[in-house]
């Protein structure tokens, strides 16, 4: 069907009638849009659709469209049809109707994956295809091979799940299936697209031998090999990596800020609450934090220096008219962001608890372990993507990665392992020693260690079980903190878990 014959004017009218739309990708990923963020350009021989999404502003050619009950299905192409995608646009209605629409798309995606699985994996038959009951973000497929053995298959159909979530979910689901008396599954496959499968393979390399054998990573890729040029899909088995394979990758370079001198403005603000305020350098300036909570920012240019303050939007430019407001903000922080706050439901008390714990340890890391020396300049190298809380050196020269939690997070152990492999790669390549993170002290030529610290309630109920799936080559310690850590940090338990 030619573009100029499509009901594009009806689509334009539909966009104008509804202010809010939900865009659902074929992968199951969703994105909310205002109607002014959808732009339809109708030309004699083609129609272009532009919209805003996570990857930025996108423009596609409309190859086909269907409108049913005000819901729009669009087949889109670009780059001379080398790129193809399908999206659905649904007017924002009741939450229940939206959930149903999203669930339908995700179930369709799950069935597509099952179809690829059957066609690509010889002798495999899909017996059950469904979404996981908890949140419907996973495709859960049970298949049977020629030997009669059952294989579990897991895949993200929401486009939003991290490798850590996928891996922990696969382990827990397979464990449940292995305990069944009837038709237990022997292994599980995680199906993911190229970018995510790369990250999964690196995490998979850090598992114990048993779990490496139980979990297989399969890469799902698009193909257009048939004569019609229609996009198909290909499933490729990815060979498992060993831990020493991880050290062959090229590590990212540490990018330190050239000028790490604190601005005069920041120095003056710190004086207002010196014991509670620390600073972090970024590429464009510096951020001041009150017990871990960012409240003041300075951005310097060759000719000027500007400062803003505020906890959330709106933030205010610091000038003669706003200086009193800054003083009032700091007084409120002193009042509410403290262990004996008069209102523990206040946002200043509740917000960023892990950063609060980090700030306490940054002032005195020996509260966690008397053998530790904190890197005085590591935060100069931190970027928005870095999630490693603290980097320290033991007195014997061993590098220590410190990960902090306050609330239970099931993926904590795999997040820590991912940080470990990144830091360990930089250590092995000599990057960390070259950066002189610890001044004149050298980092020992031994693998880094991981410290996981949290109040006892901050460790998920599955933590111990998931920790047992990690290779013994990754050395991890658990530190249990007393629940009143805001008042006084006290270690009540320390154990090596891996």
pLDDT computed for residue 265 by the predictor: 92
Enumerate the domain spans of the chain.
Answer: 3-93, 100-241, 264-344, 353-496
pLDDT computed for residue 8 by the predictor: 80
pLDDT computed for residue 294 by the predictor: 94
**Among all chains, which residue has been given the structure tokens 């179930």?**
107
- CB distance 149 to 122 below 8 Å: no
pLDDT computed for residue 13 by the predictor: 86
**For residue 458, what is the DSSP state?**
G
Cross-strand pairs, 289:
278, 294
Q: Would you state the structure tokens that stand for residue 492, as one six-digit string?
A: 């009540």
Q: Is the dihedral of CA 192, 196, 202, 203 positive or negative?
A: negative
CATH class of residue range 3-93:
mainly beta
Q: Containing H/E element for 238?
A: strand 232-238
- Asked: is 353-496 a CATH 3.40.1350.10 domain? The reply is yes
- CB distance 178 to 184 below 8 Å: yes
Q: Which has the closest alpha carbon to 200: 241, 233, 234, 160?
A: 241
pLDDT, one tens digit for every residue, the chain (498 residues) = 344 467 788 888 888 888 888 888 887 888 888 888 888 988 888 899 998 877 778 889 999 999 888 889 999 999 888 888 999 998 876 556 777 888 888 999 999 999 999 988 878 999 999 999 888 999 999 999 999 999 999 999 998 899 999 999 999 999 999 999 888 999 999 999 999 999 999 999 999 999 999 999 999 988 765 444 445 788 998 899 999 999 999 988 776 655 567 888 999 999 999 999 999 887 678 899 999 999 999 987 777 789 999 997 778 999 999 999 999 999 999 999 999 999 999 999 999 999 999 999 999 999 999 999 998 776 655 543 556 689 999 999 999 999 999 999 999 999 999 999 999 999 999 999 998 889 899 999 999 999 999 999 999 999 999 999 999 999 999 999 999 999 999 999 999 998
pLDDT computed for residue 3 by the predictor: 41
Q: Which residues contact 455 (CB under 8 A, 6 or more apart)?
A: 406, 480, 481, 482, 483, 485
- CB distance 427 to 437 below 8 Å: no
How many whole angstroms separate alpha carbon 183 and alpha carbon 151? Answer: 10
């Amino acid at each position: 069907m030619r573009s100029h014959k499509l009901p594009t004017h009806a689509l334009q009218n539909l966009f104008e009638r509804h202010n809010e739309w939900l865009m659902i990708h074929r992968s199951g990923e969703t994105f909310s849009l205002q109607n002014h963020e959808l732009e339809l350009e109708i030309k004699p021989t083609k129609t272009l659709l532009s919209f805003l999404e996570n990857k930025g502003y996108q423009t596609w050619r409309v190859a086909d469209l269907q409108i049913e009950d005000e819901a729009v299905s669009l087949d889109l192409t670009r780059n001379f049809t080398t790129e193809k995608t399908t999206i659905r646009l649904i007017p924002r209605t009741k939450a229940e109707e939206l959930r149903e629409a999203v669930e339908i798309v995700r179930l369709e995606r799950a069935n597509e994956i099952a179809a690829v699985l059957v066609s690509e994996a010889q002798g495999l038959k899909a017996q059950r295809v469904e979404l996981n009951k908890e949140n419907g973000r996973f495709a859960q497929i049970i298949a049977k091979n020629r030997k009669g053995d059952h294989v579990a298959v897991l895949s993200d159909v929401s486009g939003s799940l991290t490798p850590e979530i996928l891996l922990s979910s696969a382990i827990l689901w397979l464990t449940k299936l292995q305990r069944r008396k009837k038709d237990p599954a022997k292994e599980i496959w995680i199906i993911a697209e190229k970018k995510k499968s790369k990250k999964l393979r690196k995490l998979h390399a850090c598992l114990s031998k048993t779990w490496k054998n139980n979990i297989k990573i399969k890469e799902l890729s698009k193909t257009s090999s048939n004569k019609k040029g229609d996009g198909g899909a290909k499933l490729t088995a990815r060979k498992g990596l060993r831990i020493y394979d991880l050290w062959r990758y090229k590590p990212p370079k540490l990018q330190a800020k050239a000028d790490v001198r604190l601005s005069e403005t920041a120095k003056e603000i710190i004086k207002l609450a010196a014991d509670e305020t620390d600073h972090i350098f970024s590429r464009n300036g510096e951020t001041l934090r009150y017990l871990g909570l960012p409240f003041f920012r300075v951005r310097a240019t060759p000719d000027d220096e500007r400062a803003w303050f505020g906890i959330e939007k709106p933030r205010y430019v610091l000038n003669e008219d706003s200086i009193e407001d800054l003083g009032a903000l700091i007084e409120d922080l002193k009042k509410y962001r403290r262990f004996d706050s008069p209102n523990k439901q206040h946002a200043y008390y509740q917000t960023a608890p892990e950063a609060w714990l980090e700030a306490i340890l940054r002032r005195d890391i020996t509260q966690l372990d008397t053998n530790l020396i904190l890197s005085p300049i590591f935060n100069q190298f931190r970027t928005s993507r870095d999630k490693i809380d603290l980097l320290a050196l033991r007195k014997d020269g061993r590098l220590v990665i410190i990960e902090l939690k306050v609330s239970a997070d099931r993926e904590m152990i795999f997040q820590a392992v991912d940080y470990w492999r990144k830091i360990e790669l930089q250590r092995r390549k000599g990057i960390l020693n070259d950066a002189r993170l610890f001044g004149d002290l050298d980092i020992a030529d031994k693998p880094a260690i991981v410290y996981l610290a949290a109040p006892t309630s901050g460790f998920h109920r599955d933590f111990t079980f998931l920790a047992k799936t990690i290779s013994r080559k990754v050395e991890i310690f658990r530190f249990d903190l007393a629940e009143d850590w805001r008042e006084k940090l006290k270690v009540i338990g320390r154990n090596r878990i891996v």
